[in-house]
Structure 1
Amino acid sequence: MDYPVGNGGVTDAPATPRAPRLLDEVRRTLRVKHYSLRTEQAYVAWVRRFILANGKRHPRELGPAEVEAFLSGLATQGNVAAATQNQALSALLYLYREVLGTELPWLDRVVRAKRPRRVPTVLAREEAARLLAAMEGRPWLIGSLLYGTGLRLMEGLRLRVKDVDFARNEIVVRDGKGGKDRRTMLPRSLVEPLQREVERVRVLHAQDRVAGADGVWLPHALARKYPRAKFELGWCWLFPAAKLSRDPRGGAVRRHHLDDAVFARALKTACARAGIVKPVSAHTLRHSFATHLIEAGYDIRTVQELLGHKDVATTQVYTHVLNRGGLGVRSPLD
C-alpha cells in the first residue's frame, strides 16, 4: 500500500538506498510546507483510502473516472458531509500536484460538493452563564476564555505563557486559521485565574527540567535558530497536559498542551448539568461571543477583527441569530 515513488522500487545495486514510499513522501512534503499534524494525518488517511478503494493500484495508474467514483461513493454510499468530501478532494489534489508532480487538467473539473449554509448555534447570555457555572477547574477557565475572547478551541489550547499580556490586558493569537496572528482582549475577570495558571505552569516547567524532558515543541525552524528557547518558561503551553508524551514527529519526550478531547468531555458533562438541550460544542462559545457583542452594539468590523475573519461576510452571519428571531424582525403578533 505504501508504494515507492520514482522507479517503482527497482534499484541497480543492493547498496542503493530504497526510494521513499508514497505515504512517507506525502508526510515529508506536508511537513516541508508546514501543514499541521492533523492535516497530515487526514491527508495520509484519504490517500490510503483512495488506494485501497482502487485495488491498491498506484495513483499514477488512475484517472478522472476513479477519482470521481471515489468522491461520489463517499456521498452516495458513505453519506458523508460536504465538508468531508471536499477534504478528500483536497487530499487527492495535493497528492497529484505536490507529491507526484503531475498537473492533471481533469482535476480542475472535479466539482467540489456545495456546503450547506447553516445558522450557527448560539447560547443566550443566561445559558452561557449557566453552562460556565456547571464547569470547574481548568475546563471552566478554558470555557470562560473561549466565550470571553472568541478564540477557537485550538487557538486557546495552543496559547503560550508569553502570549498573555497582563499589563496591556490583551491576548496575542499566534498562527491562527490561515496562518494569521491577531490580538484580542483579556477579560479582566480572568486575570487572576490566568495568573494562577501561569504559576502552575512554572512549577510543571521546573519539574520537567529536573526530569530531563526535551522542552516544549517550537514551530518551524525556531528550535534550530534558538536552541535554548524550548526550555524557557515563556514558550511553555498555557494549558499543559497532565503527563509527558512522545512527539509523533520527532520522538522526543516532552509535555504537550491539553488534549481537546478533555475539554470536549467536560463541556458535554456541563451541558447535561446545566440542562441545555442545544447541540453545544467549543465553537458554540465563539459563536455566542460574536453574537453577544453585536447585540451590545459593537461595530461588525470590530467583531471581525477580534474573530480573525478574512471577510466581513463571514461575520455577518451573526446578525441573523440575534435574540429577536429571524433576521431581527419583530413579529406583528408581538
Structure 2
Amino acid sequence: MEKDYLQRFETVLKMQRYSENSIRNYLSNLSYFLKISSSYKPENLTQKQLEDFIIWLVDKKKVGQSHQKAMMATITKFYKEILQKNISLKHLYPKRKENKLPKFLTKEEVKRILQCTENLKHKAILTTIYACGLRLSEALELNISDIKSDQNVLLVRQSKGNKDRVVSLSDKLLVLLREYYKKYQPKKYLFEGAGEEKYSPRSVQQILKNALRKAQIISPASVHTLRHSYATHLLENGTDIRIIKELLGHKNIKTTEIYTHITDISKLHIKSPLDSL
C-alpha cells in the first residue's frame, strides 16, 4: 500500500511540474510518515494523530524548522491530492524564524580544497559549484548546451521554484571545463556518471569530504557550503546584495540578506570570486 501511495503521489507531483529535487524530498518525507504511522491506514488517522506526529518530530526527534515545515507541507498535500481530504496544520507552523548564519569557507580554504582535488572531473564539479554559486542539484542537472562560452554565461534551468536564471561564467572555470570536456567527452549532462547518467549527489558529497580531509580543513562544510561561500565572497568583493539575490535565484531578498550589506556595484562589473583566488 505504501508503494502505491508513493507512486500515485509522484505522478501528481510530476503532472504539477515540480522539480526532480522537490519530488525527491516530498517522496522521502511521505515514505517516512507512512512508515512511522504504518499501524493505521492514512485515511483513518485523526487530526489529533497527525498533530501528535508533528509534535513528536519536534520534541523527540529534534528536527529543525525547515524539516518540520517540509513534513507539514508533505502531509497536507498528500491528503489533499491523494485522499481528497483537506487538513490544516497551520497552527503548528513555527512562529519564530531561526536566525542561523550560513556556514561558509574562507577564500584560502576554498583555494586549498580545489588544489587538493587532483581528479579532473572532481575538480571541475567542485569548481563549477563554487564559481557559479550552484545548488548541488543544479550542478548535476547542467547540460553541455547550458554553457554559453561566447557570452561567458551559464544557464541554470528549472532550479528551485522552477525558475531559470543566468550566472556569469568565470574565465578560469571555462579553461578548466574545456580541459575536462576534452578528457571525458560527456554526451548530454555536463557531469556524467556511469552509463551517461547524471552524476550521483552522494558521490559529490564524498568528493568534498575527501578534499576537506586532504586540505586539513576542520571547518564543518557540505557541498552547499560552497554556495554560501560564493555569496559571502561576492559580498566581500563589494557586489550589491540585490544582484547576489538574482545570481543565487532567491525569490525574496530577505533570504539573501542573511549575507548582510547592500552596495551599489553594477552587475556588469561582476567577476566570479574564483578569479580572485
Q: Which residue of 1 aligns with 2:243?
A: 302
Q: Which residue of 2 aligns with 1:208?
A: none
Q: Which residue of 2 aligns with 1:212?
A: none
Please tell me whether Structure 1 or Structure 2 has the larger radius of gyration of its CA atoms. 1
Q: Which residue of 1 aligns with 2:112?
A: 130
Question: Structure with the greater relative contact order (CA < 8 A, sep ≥ 6): 1 or 2?
Answer: 2
**1:282 aligned residue (223, 230, 241):** 223
CA deviations 1:213-259 (Å, max 9, x no partner) are: xxxxxxxxxxxxxxxxxxxxxxx101111x22xxxxxxxxxx21111
Uncovered stretches (5+) of structure 2, i.e. residues with no partner: 262-277
Aligned alpha-carbon RMSD (Å): 2.2
Q: Which residue of 2 aligns with 1:68?
A: 51
Change (3 A) 1:41 1:169: closer
Look up the SS of the partner of 1:183 in the other structure: strand
Q: Which residue of 2 aligns with 1:149?
A: 132
Q: Which residue of 2 aligns with 1:7?
A: none
Percent of residue pairs identical:
31
Structure with greater helix percent: 2
Q: Give, as a single letter, the amino acid of the residue that structure 2 aligns with 1:149.
A: C
Uncovered stretches (5+) of structure 1, i.e. residues with no partner: 4-20, 206-235, 245-254, 321-334
TM-score normalized with structure 2 length: 0.85
Residues 239 and 257 in structure 1, CA contact (< 8 A), matched pair in contact too: yes
Matches within 5 A, 1:237-256: 237-241=189-193, 243-244=194-195, 255-256=196-197
Q: Give, as a single letter, the amino acid of the residue that structure 2 aligns with 1:77.
A: K
In structure 2, distance between residues paired with 1:45 and 1:56: 19
Say whether 1:116 aligns with 2:68: no
Say whether 1:43 aligns with 2:26: yes
Matches within 5 A, 1:174-323: 174-200=157-183, 202=185, 205=187, 236-241=188-193, 243-244=194-195, 255-319=196-260
Matches within 5 A, 1:160-175: 160-175=143-158
Matches within 5 A, 1:76-91: 76-91=59-74
Q: How many pairs align? A: 260
